Amino acid sequence: MSAVLEVTGLTVDIPVPTGDLHAVRGIDFSVNKGETLCIVGESGCGKSLTSLSIMGLLPKRAKINAAKMEFTGTDLLSLNERELAAIRGNRMAMIFQEPMTSLNPAYTIGNQLMEPYLRHKKSSDKEARERAIYLLERVGITAAASRLSQYPHQLSGGLRQRVMIAMALMCDPELIIADEPTTALDVTIQAQILHLLAELRKEFNSALILITHDLGVVARVADKVAVMYAGKIVEAGSVSEIFNQPLHPYTQGLIDCIPVPGKTARGSRLGSIPGIVPTLIGDIKGCSFRNRCGFAHDACEMKDPFHTLSPGRGYRCTLDVSTCEANAKELVSA
Amino acid sequence: MTTTIANRGLPAAEDIVGPTPGQQLRRRIFGHRGLMIGGGILVIIFLMALSAPFLAPHDPYFQELLARVKPPVWTTGDWKHVLGTDQLGRDYLSRIMYGAQISLLIGFAAAFISGVIGTTLGVAAGYFGGRVDMVVTFLITVRLSMPVVLVALAVVALIGGSLTVVISVLGLLLWDRYAVVMRSATMQIRQMDYVAAAKAVGCSTPRILLTEIMPNIMNNLIVVATLEMAHAILLEAALSFLGMGVQPPLPSWGLMVSEGKDYILFEAWMITIPGVALFLLVLAINLVGDGIRDVTAPENRN
Amino acid sequence: MLVYTLKRLLLALLVAMTVSAITFSLTYLAGDPAIAMAGETASDADIEYIEKLYGFDRPIVVQYFEWALNAFQGDFGQSFYFRIPVADLLLERLPVSMTLGVSAISFAILLSIPLGVLAAMRPNSLLDRLALGISVVGQAMPSFWFALVLIVMFAVWYPVFPTTGSETWLHFVLPTIVLGYYATPAIMRLTRTGMLEVLGSDYIRTARAKGLPQHVILFKHALRNAVIPVVSLAAVQFGFMLGGSIVIESIFALHGAGYLAWESIGRNDLPVVQAVVLVFSLFYIVLTFLSDLLNAWLDPRIRVG
């Protein structure tokens, strides 16, 4: 299996009046063809910035650095805006969180759907139209042909997100990045859209990076999971490893928050993680989770080592593996 | 897991003690260059107008017929008439100082009258909506359709020009922007939860308008007031320039430009001095208005 | 769209009616129009004669409807001063004002929209500050004074343009600059803020994510949306300009309708003044009506209900 995207040591710094905001502080991940990677974390942990930096969509003042950021062997950071534009929307596409505002109100659905195809594939209008109709049908929109002449404001949020998905698929991209694609939608629609994404990912055999704060989403679609906290990946692993044996106290805390039907007793208290995220302006020495962690001890103020257990499996903590595993066991069996 | 956990030396955003809102406001005011410059000019012109009776070197109406059209001191003039004299031999500096009184008076008075009209209409439309809103919107449209300068000229000409007439006419004509801005500001505030809360606890409509709505649209009101003040000053100058505003021998700056325009070929300073005075005053008021908008609503600045 | 157009048309008609009523009431603002016409020294018999002749003795409402009906048919009565139909005077003078108005708004748009767009693309750049400077100065400078300054510069120091009259296009250059500059700050500021807002919107990020080139993003996706409010503003400004043309025309002695109105105000020639006020108002009403339609056409959220 070849990596579609391979990132090591990615940092994103944003200058703010009081110093540099180190929003992403050195993260590694990779995603292969036919694979779904979920990046999980609470808001402000840097997951959205990560996705925007891959696409090259961050504002100019944000400083992006990485030891390696390769898309199918091409170093993304060495590309200029034109070369990047040739990849964007073509071989790498993105679906955003806000379907209500992500479509241009002044142009028809058809116009906006056909735009990347006409641009990147140099196709005729007719071909682009056929492709657009095909994909609209594929994402489950009825009367696809007549939808092309409709304007965004005539569609509901769920339909608009389907259009955004169709738009991302227009050029048959090798990588799709979906940034909280279901957050703004009704719960019933959320499930449909997720199902659709997973299904299409399989059908088009592309790589999918799904950014979410919702572990329920992760459980449903992920192959691999990276848990982010305060700009760093605190735990990575396969979906079964993360859910069955969460090693990092933060991941354990997250999983403790999910009610499990039949297991969580009625009226019992769900877990919660006390405290708040530290400010990311300036440097943080040691573990950034220590102020919310029940296992914190003095060593946490000095370091936060990453333990790689096997390729793609690891966690960032001062505790050793056996302690973490013991904690995980207690949590999962509880 | 709900036990409190030691912070362990990790700085949270809340731990960084920021400046108090008062300090922030003061910092924004003094850090705003436009506001400082505009405020400075405005204070100077204001002092000039107030101190005219004491500091003006001459009587602004005294005609020294032997010393007509004397140039200012920096060309070929002398220190007796620092800014020269006009076509009737009246001291230009004194006239400029007294002219500041007229401009400021007209600016304040017209902005006040139009402010009362426009705010009443706008707040009523924004708060009550429905029919009231329809009527007010209609009135605004009608008002905007009438050419201001032309109507003002015609009315002043028909009634006869005097300071009171000019102020009243401008006051009655310039309320449209107040109404537009107050209407939309009130509409926004009306939807706020605290207004609903005030209604729920049974506050009367006047009380809600006074204690919930007005304080929250005050900054918009002040910004519009400065704009309309500048607008009124410019309009008065234009009316006076066209001979249908403040009447001679009052030292209106617009009138001074008009009286000096016969001399523009050789004595360009005669229009330059009152023109620059007008420009500086209006510029200062606009800068202050923009500054207040930036300082009171930093999230809205562009 | 049809319903919208009809609604909008009805509003325009209502506004026109109201404006005409206000304009008509100018007649009575100065007191008894018959006395004003006959002059202070006229005898009672003279005044009575004039009252009969012009119908001032009838109820005001009747007088208004007669005046308004005639006016909407293009009959604004006789000029007191010229003793010819006001309509003829207007037909002679309006083209000059329209030429000035159209060239001034074109000048303003050509200057302010590109500047506003460029300023929005690079906020706080040198160009942005230049644009801000132009608009701050433009808002504060009295237009009649700017006109005089230009006359001194271009007629006295560097005699390039004629400063009075309306015979050739050269006569229109300076008035166009003065009047156009008057509308520039507002249009430029709105273009800049609109463009900034649009450039920061989600759908521009989508367009960038699609890999579209910069010029397509800017001109197809951003400008189209940013320009919608500018269209209404330009129409409003054009209306204001006609009103402001009275100052400029009188300074440059351009024989347009504004100049005519100014002269007529001085001559107490009320029918002419009323006609110019009404025509300028109607023009504004028609213009805003058309700009609303154009807006609806540009913005599918209004067009396709």
Q: Residues 6 or more apart from A303 whose CB is under 8 A from it?
A: A286, A287, A318
Quote the pLDDT of residue A103: 92
CB atoms closer than 10 angstroms to residue B122: 30
Shortest distance, CA A305 to any CA of chain B (angstroms): 17
Q: Name the pLDDT band for C31 (thresholds 50, 70, 90).
A: low
Share the mean pLDDT of chain B: 84
| Cβ within 8 Å, pair A88-C201 | no
**Cβ–Cβ under 8 Å, residues C209 and A55:** yes
Q: What is the mean pLDDT of residues B141-161?
A: 87
Task: Residue A147: name the closest of A181, A111, A118 by CA.
Answer: A111
Tell me the nearest-neighbour CA distance from C204 into chain A, angstroms: 8
Q: How far is B218 from chain C, CA to nearest CA, in Å?
A: 23
Cβ contacts of C251 within 8 Å, gap of 6 or more: C144, C147, C148, C151
B261 and chain C in contact, CB less than 8 A: yes
Subunit contact B13:A276, Cβ cutoff 8 A? yes
Q: Does the beta-carbon distance from A120 to C211 stay under 8 Å?
A: yes
Residues 181-210 of B with CB under 8 A from C: none
**Are residues B8 and A296, on separate chains, in Cβ contact within 8 Å?**
yes
Predicted confidence (pLDDT) per residue in A120-174, tens digit: 988 899 999 999 999 999 888 888 889 999 999 899 888 898 899 999 999 999 9
pLDDT at B301 over 70: no
From A257's Cα to the closest Cα of chain C, the distance in A is: 32
Give the pLDDT band (50/70/90) at residue B19.
low
Residue range B109-150, pLDDT digits in tens: 999 999 999 999 999 999 998 899 999 999 999 999 888 888
The C-alpha atoms of residue A182 and residue A218 are separated, in whole angstroms, by 12
pLDDT > 50? residue C81: yes
Chains that touch B (3 or more CB pairs under 8 A): A, C
Helices C224-252 and C257-266, packing angle to 10 deg: 50
The whole-number pLDDT of residue B14 equals: 56
For A112, which residue in chain C has the nearest alpha carbon? C207
Which residues, 6+ apart, have CB-to-CB distance to C279 below 8 Å? C90, C94, C257
Query: Residues A52-93: pLDDT tens digits?
Result: 999 988 888 888 888 889 999 889 888 888 888 899 989 999
Per-chain mean pLDDT for chain C: 85
Whether chain C has a CB inside 8 Å of the CB on B254: the answer is yes
Taking the Cβ of residue A19 and every Cβ of chain B, the question of whether any pair is shorter than 8 Å is answered with no
Find chain C residues with C-beta within 8 A of A114's C-beta.
Answer: none
* Rg of chain C in Å (alpha carbons): 24
pLDDT tens figures, C243-275: 888 889 988 888 889 999 988 888 888 889 889
Q: Which residue has the higher pLDDT, C180 or B266?
A: C180
CA closest to C145 among chain B residues? B275
Cα B300 from Cα C224, distance rounded (Å): 23
How many pairs of residues across A and B have Cβ atoms under 8 Å apart? 49
Kindly state whether B33 is in contact with chain C, defined as any CB-CB distance less than 8 angstroms. Answer: no
Which residues of chain C lie closer than 8 angstroms to A120, CB-CB?
211
CA end-to-end span of chain C, whole Å? 7
Alpha-carbon distance of B197 to B151, in angstroms, equals 45
CA dist list (Å): C33 to C38, C44, C54, C56, C202:
8, 14, 10, 8, 62
pLDDT in tens, B46-59: 999 898 888 878 77
* Residue B279 at interface with chain C, using a CB cutoff of 8 Å: yes
Check pLDDT > 50 for residue B223: yes
Name the residue in chain A with its Cα closest to that of B18.
A18
Which chain A residues touch C295 with a CB distance below 8 Å? none
Q: Distance between CA atoms of A200 and A222, rounded to whole angstroms? A: 14
Is A109 touching C (CB cutoff 8 A)? no
Q: What does the pLDDT read at residue A158?
A: 86
Chains with ≥3 Cβ pairs under 8 A against C? A, B
Question: What are the angstrom distances between the C-alpha of C287 and each of A81, A185, C274?
Answer: 43, 42, 20
- Smallest Cβ–Cβ distance between B271 and the set C19, C145, C276 belongs to C145
Q: Is B17 on the interface with A (CB under 8 A)?
A: no
Residue A276 contacts B, CB cutoff 8 Å: yes
Q: Find out whether C211 and A88 touch, Cβ atoms under 8 Å.
A: yes
C77 or A207: which leads in pLDDT: A207
Tell me how far the alpha carbon of residue C262 is from its chain's centroid. Answer: 16
Given a contact cutoff of 8 angstroms between Cβ atoms, the answer to whether C103 and C180 are in contact is yes
Beta carbons within 10 angstroms of residue A49's beta carbon = 21
CA–CA gap between residue B224 and residue B122 (Å, rounded) = 12
A241/A228 Cα distance (integer angstroms): 16
Q: How many helices (H) and strands (E) in chain A?
A: 11, 13
Considering chain A, what is the average pLDDT of its residues? Answer: 87
d(CA A123, CA B111) in angstroms, rounded, equals 61
What is the predicted pLDDT for the residue at A334? 61
C189, C184, C223: which is closest to C207 by C-alpha? C223
Q: Any chain A CB within 8 A of the CB of B14? A: yes
* CB < 8 Å to C203, chain A: 101-105
Q: Considering only alpha carbons, which residue of chain C is nearest residue B151? A: C277
Q: Which residue of C has its CA nearest to A60?
A: C122
Tell me: pLDDT of B15 over 70.
Answer: no
pLDDT of residue C30: 64
Alpha carbons C245 and C163: distance in angstroms, whole number: 15
**Under an 8 A CB cutoff, do B8 and A301 touch?**
yes
**Looking up tokens 């960084």, which residue turns up?**
B16
The closest of B21, A59, B120 to C200, measured between CA atoms, is A59
Q: Which residues pair with A235 in a beta bridge?
A: A227, A315
A81 or A262, higher pLDDT: A81
Strand partners, B83: none
SS3 content of chain B, % helix, strand, coil (to 5): 75, 0, 25
Cα angle B132-C298-C102, degrees, rounded to a multiple of 5: 90
In this predicted structure, what is the pLDDT of residue C38?
A: 66
Nearest to A290 among B1, B8, B11 (CB): B8
Give the SS3 label for residue B59: coil
Tokens of A180: 């909280």
Asked whether the beta carbons of residue C139 and residue B268 sit closer than 8 angstroms, the reply is no
Q: Does A299 reach chain B within 8 Å, measured CB to CB?
A: no
- The shortest C-alpha distance from C210 to chain A (Å) reads 4
Compute the average pLDDT of residues B233-238: 91
| Structural contact between residues C140 and B230, judged by C-beta atoms closer than 8 angstroms | yes
Q: Does the structure show a pLDDT above 80 at C286?
A: yes
pLDDT band, very low/low/confident/very high, at B104 (cuts 50, 70, 90): very high
Give the model's confidence band at A176: pLDDT under 50 very low, under 70 low, under 90 confident, else very high: very high
Q: In chain C, what residues touch A86 (CB-CB under 8 Å)? A: 211
Query: Exposed, middle or buried, C133 (CB in 10 Å: 0-12/13-18/19+)?
Result: exposed
Judge whether B22 is closer than 8 Å to chain A, CB to CB: no
Percentage of residues of chain B with pLDDT beyond 90: 33
Distance from CA of A99 to the nearest CA of C (A): 9
What local confidence, expressed as pLDDT, does residue C61 receive? Answer: 82
Angstrom distance (rounded) from CA B251 to CA B91: 11
Residue C88 pairs in a beta bridge with none
Confidence of residue A220 (pLDDT cuts 50, 70, 90): confident
Strand, coil or helix: what is A6? Answer: strand
DSSP state of A278: B
What is the distance between the alpha carbons of residues A176 and A200, in angstroms, rounded to a whole number?
Answer: 11
> Residue B9's pLDDT is what?
67
Least confident of A279-293, B69-83, B225-239: B69-83
Which residues in chain B have Cβ-Cβ distances shorter than 8 Å to A279?
11-13, 15-16
Among C203, C220, C300, the residue with its CB nearest the CB of A151 is C300
Smallest CA–CA distance, residue C239 to chain B, in Å, is: 8
Name residue A60's amino acid.
Answer: K
Residue pLDDT, tens place only, C35-65: 666 666 777 777 777 777 777 777 778 888 8
Contact C212 A115 (CB under 8 A): yes
- Residue C188 confidence class, pLDDT cut points 50, 70, 90: very high
Mean pLDDT value of segment A305-310? 88
Q: What is the pTM of this model?
A: 0.82
B225 vs B244, residue with greater confidence: B225
Q: Does A296 touch chain B (CB under 8 A)?
A: yes
Q: Is B230's CB within 8 Å of C277's CB?
A: no
Percentage above 70 pLDDT, chain B: 92
Mean pLDDT calculated for residue range A246-260: 85
Scanning every residue of chain A, which has its alpha carbon at the shortest distance from the alpha carbon of C228? Answer: A106
Contact C225 A88 (CB under 8 A): no
To the nearest 10 degrees (0 to 180), the angle between helices B163-173 and B92-128 is: 30
pLDDT digits (tens, 9 = 90+) for C132-173: 899 889 888 998 899 888 888 887 777 777 777 767 787 888
Report the residue from A87, A104, A150 with minimal CB separation from C211: A87
